[in-house]
Structure 1
Amino acid sequence: MGELMNSGVLSIASLMISVVMLIVGLILWFFVNRASSRTNEQIELLEALLDQQKRQTALLRRLCEANEPEEKAVPKDALDEVKEDEDDFIRLVAER
């Protein structure tokens, strides 16, 4: 009769361990699935943000091109003076 009791206790214990493992597995699955869903939502939001930024950049480029003043003819003498000033500044920088 002792053998019947021992086998019954072992089957109940293994059943309880299986149920506990199932509950732990379901809890882990819930949190992993939840994190995955949130990650997918964040990726979608970031992609939408990237698309909006690309549109804004394109609009800004068009706006800048539309408002860009026409280039005026600058005399060559003025350009030469600017280059000479830059050369003078380079000479003032100490070399190491």
Structure 2
Amino acid sequence: MNEVLNSGALTFASLMVSVVVLVVGLVLWFFVNRASSRTNEQIELLESLLDQQKRQNALLRRLCEANEPEKAAEATPAANVREEDDDIIRLVAER
């Protein structure tokens, strides 16, 4: 048993364990780094989408405000229809 310990097999085995641990560590670091960079790209894309949605909402508000006077003139007949619909709904018993 002393011959195995003194022959260098133990130092070779410890060297191999160190190399395996190093390789596993590098592989783990690679995948963590890759996932982190993908996450950063996704965050950038989501932020750009949010910015575009804010612009679209602003444009829609402008369009709605520009078309609002036309809708006010047309809204009065629709209000009468709604009142009639409400009367019919009031007649239906609730469960």
RMSD: 2.4
Shift of 1:81: 8.3
TM-score if structure 2 supplies the norm length? 0.76
Counting only pairs closer than 5 Å after superposition, residues 29-48 of structure 1 correspond to structure 2 as: 29-48=29-48
SS in 2 for 1:32: helix
Taking a change above 3 Å as real, the CA distance of residues 67 and 89 of structure 1, as seen in their structure-2 partners, is same
Q: What is the total number of aligned residue pairs between the two structures?
A: 89
What do residues 11-67 of structure 1 show as CA deviations (whole Å, max 9, x unaligned)?
110011001110111011001100110011100110011011101110111012112
Amino acid at match of 1:93: V
Q: Pick 1 or 2: higher relative contact order, CA cutoff 8 A, min separation 6.
A: 2
Instruction: Give the TM-score of the pair, scaled to structure 1.
Output: 0.76
Q: Which residue of 1 aligns with 2:5?
A: 6
Higher helix proportion (structure 1 or 2): 2
Aligned residue type for 2:69: P
Deviation at 1:80, TM superposition (A): 7.4
Shift in CA distance, 18/46, structure 1 to aligned 2, threshold 3 Å: same
* 1:1-96 equivalence runs, <5 A: 3=2, 5-7=4-6, 8-70=8-70, 71-72=72-73, 83=83, 85-96=84-95
Specify the structure having the higher radius of gyration (Cα). Answer: 1
Q: Give the gaps of 5 or more residues in structure 1.
A: none
Structure 2: unaligned runs, 5 residues or longer: none
Alignment identity in percent? Answer: 71
Instruction: State the one-letter code of the partner of 1:24.
Output: V
